[in-house]
Chain A
Amino acid sequence: MAAVEIPHDEQAFLEYVQSGGQVETGDWMPADYRAKLVKFIEMHGNSELMGVLPEREWILRAPTLQRKLALTAKVQDEVGHAQLIYRVVEDLGKPREQCLADLVSGKAKFHNVFHYATKTWGDVGAIAWLVDAAAIISQKALLKCSYAPYARIMKKICWEESFHILHGRDVILAMITGTPEQFELVQEAVNRWWGPLMQFHGNPIPRDEDPMYIWRIKSQGNEEARQQFLEGYVPQIWELGLTVPDPNLRRRDDGVWEYSEPDWDELKHVVTGHGPKTEERLAFRRRFLEQEQWVRDLVLAA
């Protein structure tokens, strides 16, 4: 694809993207922008893929045919997203095979939430309702990404996520209005997922110091995203009679949510590959990646 006339100058590029300008694959980009972009998008792809494994177990265990179908479709979308995302990375120069190799070797990262265990059907609801909600907030902030091919796939991704949230709500509401034991399953899941959820949007680096924002790869800072999550979802949690395991959580009069400082050490520890389920999940993926190398060799050697 032909290139557009953007001066090969980092400052001009910066001004261009900060005033809403977008670039295409063949356009000139500062080396730093390209490097950060690839890393960011790759981590997104890795996360979609790794997010599949915690939910996979529950597809197999779904207690009704409807839930089985819905969960299968939801997880399918996530794999589909990974395909779209890795395609974008590949067009930026890093082959998908390399991305997957780096993922299973532990070299590349994926989001914290996918390093944790899922323990009950309550988790299925909590993930689709809250974890996906947190992810969607981040994803919406990518719709105007300065890198146009990524912005375009984000549109499809956000559209597909819309039923995921409803599915999540439906699962939760069925349990909340079911037996006391089911209510407890939901509460227990919320209690376990709250920490990782609060860490999910990353530490509150001011957006003007966040390269992702400076380059307009994303259009909001970490704290903005977290506040949006709290504003949208804490009232939803409370109105169902559920509690959040943070005694300091409250909404100030000026609309800002206060909360206990998330455990940033835990976040760092987990995303660098030391989560409770990291090694097991990577090993599982690695096993099949290696086992089925012959299929890719056969099929992709066109």
Chain B
Amino acid sequence: MIYEIFRQERRGQPFEHAGSVVAPDIEFAEAWSREQYGRRGESVALWLVPRDAIHAVEGWADEFDLKYRRVDGYSIKARLKEARERASAPGAG
């Protein structure tokens, strides 16, 4: 069975995919991945997941203008400049 290995480098950090090992069962998979992903102190924890337990997801529809809900959809510089100019003009405030 192929086990995918996710490793956490330091406590609090995300578990990241690190590789895979072919092993007959979870005991061997654990023993072997402890070695491959921990013998140099590079991981504090591992998650082992059988490859076929992983459901991959890809592809989002991107048909219409969705910038209203993203940071790059906003350009406030010009208006901000105008507002500041108005606020500091004589007779304002």
A and B touch in the complex (CB under 8 A): yes
Q: Write the residues of chain A forming the contact surface with B, with a CB cutoff of 8 angstroms.
A: 1-2, 4-5, 76, 80, 83-84, 87, 90-91, 96, 152-153, 156, 159-160, 299-302
Distance of A87 Cα from B21 Cα, bound (Å): 7
Interface of B is mostly: loop
Whether B19 pairs with A87 at a CB distance below 8 angstroms is yes
B36 at the interface (CB under 8 A from A): yes
| Interface 0/1 of B5-25, CB less than 8 Å to A | 000000000000011111111
- B residues with CB within 8 A of A: 1, 18-25, 28, 35-36, 39-40, 42, 54, 56-59
Q: Which residues of chain B have C-beta atoms less than 8 A from A91's C-beta?
A: 20
Contact check, A160 vs B24: say whether CB atoms are below 8 A apart.
no
Given contacts A90-B22, A153-B19, A300-B22, contact A83 B36 (CB under 8 A): yes
Are A2 and B56 within 8 A (Cβ)? yes
Tell whether, in the assembled complex, residue A302 and residue B36 are in contact, meaning their CB atoms are under 8 Å apart: no
CA distance A278 to B75 in the complex (A): 66
* Number of residue pairs A-B, CB distance < 8 angstroms: 38
Contact B24 A2 (CB under 8 A): no
Apart from A80-B35, A152-B19: 16 A-B pairs, beta carbons within 8 A: A1-B54, A2-B56, A2-B57, A2-B58, A2-B59, A4-B58, A5-B59, A76-B39, A83-B21, A83-B36, A87-B22, A91-B20, A96-B22, A156-B18, A156-B19, A299-B28
Of all chain B residues, which has the CB nearest A298? B24
Which DSSP category, helix, strand, loop or mixed, fits chain A's interface? Answer: helix
B23: chain A residues at CB < 8 Å are 302
How far apart sit A198 and B82, CA to CA, in the bound complex (Å)?
A: 67
- Shortest distance between the CB of B75 and any CB in chain A (Å): 28
Which residues of A are found within 8 Å of B21, using beta-carbon distances? Answer: 83, 87
Check A160 against B20 for contact (C-beta < 8 Å): no
Q: Are A300 and B36 in contact (CB under 8 A)?
A: no
Bound together, the chains give a CA A84 to CA B39 distance in angstroms of 15
Q: Once the chains are docked, how many angstroms separate the CA of A160 from the CA of B23?
A: 23
Q: How far is the CA of A5 from the CA of B61 in the complex (A)?
A: 13
Chosen A-B contacts, 16 in total, with CB atoms closer than 8 Å, are A1-B54, A4-B58, A5-B59, A80-B39, A83-B21, A84-B19, A91-B20, A152-B19, A153-B19, A159-B42, A160-B40, A299-B28, A300-B22, A302-B1, A302-B23, A302-B24
Q: CB-CB < 8 A to B28: which residues of A?
A: 299
Q: Give every chain A residue within 8 A of B57 (Cβ-Cβ).
A: 2
Q: Report the minimal beta-carbon distance from B34 to chain A, rounded to whole angstroms.
A: 12
